[in-house]
Amino acid sequence: MWGGRFAEGPAAVMREINASIPFDKRMWRQDVAGSRAHVAMLGAQGIVAADDVAAIDAGLEEVAAGYAADGVPDDLAMEDIHMLTEARLSDAIGPAAGRLHTARSRNDQVATDFRLWVRDATDQVLAALAALDDALLARAEDHAGSVMPGFTHLQSAQPVTLGHHLMAYHEMVSRDISRFRDNRARGNLCPLGSAALAGTGFPIDRHATAAALGFDGPTRNSLDSVSDRDFALDYLMAAVQCSLHLSRLAEEFVLWASQPFGFVALSDQWSTGSSIMPQKRNPDAAELVRGHAGRISGCLVSLMVTMKGLPLAYSKDMQDDKPPVFECHDLLAISIAAMTGMIESATFRTDRMRGLAESGYATATDLADWLVREANVPFREAHHITGRAVARAEALGCTLDAVPLADLQAIDARITDAVYGVLSVDASVASRRSFGGTAPDNVRAAIRAAREART
């Protein structure tokens, strides 16, 4: 490529450290698409003759067909996917291939290919998140009225519904979808035509190539165009946040599948066994999703550290921008798919959930609220009274709604038998009708709203 300047070839180690083909070959589709758009523009502008444009375009199609059929070889001598494609094009059509790189540098070529790849990856993630959200909404609808204990500090707090709990993850996924969409829109500008760093003296039409590649327009500064990797960092940041949400959901499944909880049975498809203990059913898929969040976070840190001190415009350090993004995408895609499968196939043990909700004094707040509403007791005093009622229930070894009225009135004479209308878990969840609350009707309304927002 640069034989005119150098008398000797690179050392073996230099060739190995300098080559990116083992990983950037993933971008071959984007590289071919960018080259076809570029040569079409060169022809339209009269920079390259029509016959050469036709030959180059046909040759690129031939190269792409070869990649699709046989894969892309790790040819270190070709250094990267861009040089390999140009070499194969030259083999296919001869010297005319050399005109393809007119008014283009590998700097803007790489930046364009990478943006295209990240955009395609984002579209894949958005489709996967939509499927995950569909699964959450379907299971939430199934269990809009299924009572379970709600937790704070992993201690039984107040009864909620399983549907409400699952809809909390819908909210997280909705924010993830929003972040990926925002990133896609912000990064959808085309660097092609910025050349090495300063633009080009050829009369190119950057708007034409941007439109041909589905971008909203060209980038506005040639220096920034070839040195910007914000679009990749934005993708990683959104992926990290998404992976944290997936990890929290996975952690719930790990806990819920354990015998002490017994809230869920994972299907055979998403469980593994033990090499020594025949009785084991391990939630390995959920644990791996939880573990992947750490690796995805590491990918973000890797690229941030690579970019933090680079002067304008392009530096070879930026060759290391792609491996963390590729790794992150693979991990995120399989994590989303695994959680979608687990949610769709899980058997929720709602009888067990209800039993624990009833046994954990989860309706204590309902007693305090009743005292405030019906007996005009200040909440702090009602809190104290309720605490004594819970202590009495513990002493009797019964649930709060099973404490005899006489015992409750011995604690505070203002308590009447009407209080029993709020002490059941069903009454408790049904009463939480404030916007965003756990009442079954609220949950069903939230599901309808979520589906309408998607149409």
Query: Nearest-CA neighbor of 135 among 177, 164, 169?
Result: 169
C-beta neighbour count of 90 within 10 angstroms: 15
| pLDDT of amino acid 270 | 75
| pLDDT of amino acid 147 | 97
Query: Nearest-CA neighbor of 63 among 71, 52, 51, 75?
Result: 71
Question: How far is it, in rounded angstroms, from Cα 126 to Cα 212?
Answer: 23
Query: For residue range 64-86, what is the model confidence (pLDDT) as tens digits?
Result: 999 999 999 988 888 899 999 99
- How many Cα atoms are found within 13 Å in the side-chain-facing hemisphere of 41? 24
| pLDDT of amino acid 269 | 83
- Write down the mean pLDDT value for the chain: 93
Given the residues 20, 153, 297, 384, the one annotated as active site: 153
Mean pLDDT, range 116-124, rounded to an integer:
98
Query: For residue range 416-426, what is the model confidence (pLDDT) as tens digits?
Result: 999 998 888 99
CA distances to 138, 275, 305, 436, 439 from 454, in Å: 14, 45, 37, 19, 23
Question: How far is it, in rounded angstroms, from Cα 21 to Cα 299?
Answer: 20
Residue 383 annotated in active site: no
CA angle 365, 371, 375 (to 5 degrees): 170
* Contacts of residue 417, Cβ cutoff 8 Å, sequence gap at least 6: 405
Mean pLDDT, range 10-14, rounded to an integer:
72
| pLDDT of amino acid 267 | 85
- Provide the terminal-to-terminal Cα distance of the chain, rounded to the nearest Å: 51
Q: Name residue 147's beta-bridge partners.
A: 161
The torsion angle over the Cα atoms of residues 321, 326, 331 and 332, rounded to 10 degrees, is 90
| pLDDT of amino acid 2 | 46
**What phi, psi does 282 have (nearest 5°)?**
-100, 135
| pLDDT of amino acid 186 | 97
Query: For residue range 230-241, what is the model confidence (pLDDT) as tens digits?
Result: 999 999 999 999
Given the residues 178, 258, 267, 274, the one annotated as active site: 274
Query: For residue range 153-209, what is the model confidence (pLDDT) as tens digits?
Result: 998 888 999 999 999 999 999 999 999 999 999 999 999 999 999 999 999 999 999
User: Does the pLDDT at position 348 exceed 50?
Assistant: yes
Residue 424 annotated in active site: no
User: Does the pLDDT at position 5 exceed 70?
Assistant: no
Q: Name residue 159's beta-bridge partners.
A: 149
**Mode of pairing for the β-strands spanning 147-152 and 264-265:** unpaired
Confidence label for 274 from pLDDT (cuts 50, 70 and 90): low
CA angle 183, 187, 190 (to 5 degrees): 165
User: Does the pLDDT at position 281 exceed 80?
Assistant: no
Query: For residue range 376-393, what is the model confidence (pLDDT) as tens digits?
Result: 999 999 999 999 999 999
Question: Domains of the chain, with CATH numbers?
Answer: 12-102 (1.10.275.10), 107-142+158-355 (1.20.200.10), 358-453 (1.10.40.30)
